[in-house]
Structure 1
Amino acid sequence: MILRDTTARTMLGSILVSSIGMGLYTLALGQTLFQHTGNAQAFAMIFALQGLGAVAVLPFSGPVVDAFDSRIVYVLCSVLRALTVGVIVIALSTGDGVVTVVGTAAVFLAIFDNVQRTAFFKFTAHHIAGERAVAFNSLIGIAIQAGSLIGMAALGLVLMVGTATQALLVDVVVSSVAATVVSRLRVPRQESAGRLRESTLRSALPGLLHDWAGLFRRHRHEVVVFGMVLMCAGDFVYSYGLSTLVVPLVDAWHGGQPWAISALEGTLGAGMITATLFTRYTVRQALLPVWVSLQAVIAVALAFTTAPALHYVGFFLAGFANLNAITLLLTLLQQHAGPMDKAKMASLRLLAIGGGTAALMPVLGLAARQSLTAAFLTLAALLVPFAACGLWAAVRFVPRTAAAAKEEAGAQPELTPAA
């Protein structure tokens, strides 16, 4: 069982703790910005700015993380996240230039979060690979959603005695705890170190370009792989979209009750947790277009549903479909990347997510200014090309075999032991 593995258990614990802060952070920041601006556009723009931050850092993060110890990079990013959220708390408390300061901090937060995700992708690929990867990746969903639910519950408790701004301090604390937990982890084996490890500043850029050129060269006959990378953006735009629209949805049809926001987000998380119980049957390549299409159908249904009870049904099914699509794409790309390309493939995936978020969330924000119905229909329309790409991937993608991966590892001349 995967939980008997100390390394896997520690990383899942770190994700659980981090997700408590993230769940609280997303809802608390959304409520605070809605109170300051009166609409959902500002929160949508925060997601867009986070996407721009990801686009800025991810071309560099892959080769850099490939060159260094992923555990150390992961810990450093947790510390920097705690400091950045602290800056957001100060800005919201003073009330001066809130949107500008929070937007700027969000860019840095996206940089640290995406480098950390790149490090996590590489760490998992090296230390929790093989047939255990699907089990571990499905448990990531449980850890994230369980943490989010705890964070939402914690927000409710904090709001009984304080404000949403003060609640963000919980994120500062849990990010620090996550850094401490992973810093104490001792992994059983060393990781592959890329070319940039020994580079001087003068040779760093050519080395970085060489690393990226190698990845594209190795996959030059697999265009469908890059299509799958782009698909990753759709799942995150969808989940970000629901988080953006849940506040005006509650304001319109749930009497503006703050608890309903947490309840709907919690129902989304419950759908994701439930999905992890069936990944043996649902995380299959042939079902990829089904899960993406189902998310679009649910968005259409939410556009025309005024009954609060049906909103919970829709959010639950959305979480179920979203988790299956995310887990499937993550696992396929993680296992398909060669030993020297793990972090670069993660960067490429996160770059697609960041770029997609930056490009598409403003569209959703503009639609939300028109009406809630227009916003949900726009969200559904945005998923149509991703569903088409999912059908292409289901038919054309051929996963790399374990034997091929080992053969490629032996053929990599630049593979050197990590210090």
Structure 2
Amino acid sequence: MSDAAGESSTPAPPDGLLKHRAFLWFWTSRVLMAMGFQITSVAIGWRIYEMTGSAYALGFVGLVQFLPMLALTLVSGHVADRYDRRMIVIICQFLEAATLAFLVYGIFAGWTGVFGIYAAVALLGAAQAFVAPTLSAMLPAVVPTALLPRAMAMSSSAFQTAMIVGPSAGGVLYAFGAPVPFIAAGVCFLVGALATIMIRVERRAPSREPVTLKSVFGGLTFIWGRPVVLGTISLDLFAVLLGGVVALLPIFAKDILQTGPWGLGLLRAMPAVGALAMAAVLTKYNVERGIGMKMFWSVIIFGVATVIFALSVNLWLSLVALFVLGAADNVSVVIRTSLVLLQTPDEMRGRVNAVNFLAIGTSNQLGEFWAGMMGGLMGVVVAGALGGTLTIAVTLLWMKLFPDLRKADRYEVADD
């Protein structure tokens, strides 16, 4: 390891990112992909429920989407480290557009049933299994190391913007007919592919090491041997797994806060609004010193905000708590992702990021399952407060178990 990143990250000008055309194309591509995915998710959920009227059928959408990611994680990471990452993203974007074209054709023809939609969801999940780690591994080649944390914040803002706008757009477009949101999402993926084509980066020839069990599992081996990376990824896994309350928001909105669908919409949007606001701050003011403790504190604040939300009986207090929760989570996301990217050699970034995104996906999916089970057993208020408390406890434990991460002061760049 070297401390070069800490020395070179200071002089980055506020408008530095805007001078990098490659990053602007990268950001545009990510915005369009995230927007397309969010529009598609809302439209598919509504279509499935419209056809079946079953909550179980809706639940299977998430499962069908998650299983390909679980099965392809190690493979997708290895592919990202062996082949041109830009071409992988482009191919996946065209695959996603083609999948949506299949859905639109099936809707017009009247033969797309529930299982046809599940098949489309599985294809989209498989594409995302390749896109997510590959796109993240591309970023260090798009911007200079000095601008990477700031670029991560701006890239995160793309996702948060899509989280706010995408679901609303999907619902509005569906009102014009079931095929309309899928057509719009397909256009997003196609234009996103064109933006990816425009990205020009200087990169070394990809690694061509033979495909062996050792190389495929190289990401897991690398993470296990790097306490800072292991602590960073595992902290996010357990914090989100234990502290997630998103699955319980409909119950809080109706039974605790005594509000209607409009209130639920505000509650669902507020974490993304907080994250977007924090992303704007981090884009301008880079986190440069004391990164380990700042990440730990952000997770603790996330846990405290979760407890406050769970105990609140006032809609406005609940909205503020969710805003703070989203803002704190984004600080953790930016620091975590920057740490993982910078401490991983380029030839390993695909595999390491694949494991990282599997941890994120697992925590989100299992976190909703955990929240639902705990809410059913002990009530949503106790479950939410317990989840936030456990998040704080895990963070304090991780501070003791991973002293290198706690003491991390500046970003360090791996020796490639």
One-letter identity of the residue aligned with 1:271: G
Distance 1:171 1:361, change over 3 A: same
One-letter identity of the residue aligned with 2:271: L
Q: Which moved more, 1:313-322 or 1:39-48?
A: 39-48
Number of residue pairs aligned between Structure 1 and Structure 2: 393
CA shift for structure 1 position 171 = 2.2
CA shift for structure 1 position 185 = 2.8
Checking the alignment, whether the CA contact within 8 Å between 1:24 and 1:154 is kept in structure 2 is yes
% same residue: 17
- Establish whether residue 290 from structure 1 lines up as the match of residue 273 from structure 2: no
- Residues in 1 aligned to 2:117 and 2:238: alpha-carbon distance in whole angstroms: 25
Q: Cα deviations across residues 214-262 of structure 1 (Å, max 9, x unaligned)?
A: 55666665334223222333466589x45433444444446432x4444
Q: Tell me the residue number matched to 2:391.
A: 383
Q: Cα deviations across residues 135-162 of structure 1 (Å, max 9, x unaligned)?
A: 1001012222223333244245435x43
Q: Tell me the residue number matched to 1:416.
A: none
Q: Which moved more, 1:227-236 or 1:374-383?
A: 374-383
CA shift for structure 1 position 340 = 1.5
Equivalent residue runs for 1:16-415 within 5 Å: 16-29=31-44, 46-85=61-100, 98=114, 105-155=120-170, 157-158=172-173, 161-162=175-176, 166-187=180-201, 189-196=202-209, 204=211, 206=212, 209-212=213-216, 221-234=225-238, 237=241, 241-252=244-255, 253=257, 255-257=259-261, 259-279=262-282, 280=285, 284-369=291-376, 371-373=379-381, 376-377=384-385, 379-380=387-388, 383=391, 386-388=394-396, 390-392=398-400, 395-397=403-405, 405=414, 408-409=415-416
Unmatched segments (≥5 aa) in structure 2: 1-15
CA shift for structure 1 position 42 = 5.9
Unmatched segments (≥5 aa) in structure 1: 410-419
Q: TM-score, normalised by structure 1?
A: 0.78
- Residues in 2 aligned to 1:126 and 1:43: alpha-carbon distance in whole angstroms: 39
Checking the alignment, whether the CA contact within 8 Å between 1:68 and 1:193 is kept in structure 2 is yes
DSSP 3-state at the match of 1:79:
helix
Q: Cα deviations across residues 344-386 of structure 1 (Å, max 9, x unaligned)?
A: 1111211222343454432233345565435534643663565
Distance 1:48 1:224, change over 3 A: farther
- Residues in 1 aligned to 2:401 and 2:97: alpha-carbon distance in whole angstroms: 38
Checking the alignment, whether the CA contact within 8 Å between 1:31 and 1:247 is kept in structure 2 is no
CA shift for structure 1 position 16 = 1.6
Checking the alignment, whether the CA contact within 8 Å between 2:157 and 2:280 is kept in structure 1 is no
Distance 1:245 1:164, change over 3 A: farther
- Residues in 2 aligned to 1:90 and 1:299: alpha-carbon distance in whole angstroms: 43
CA shift for structure 1 position 65 = 0.8
Q: TM-score, normalised by structure 2?
A: 0.79
CA shift for structure 1 position 285 = 1.6
- Residues in 1 aligned to 2:178 and 2:241: alpha-carbon distance in whole angstroms: 24
Checking the alignment, whether the CA contact within 8 Å between 2:251 and 2:380 is kept in structure 1 is yes
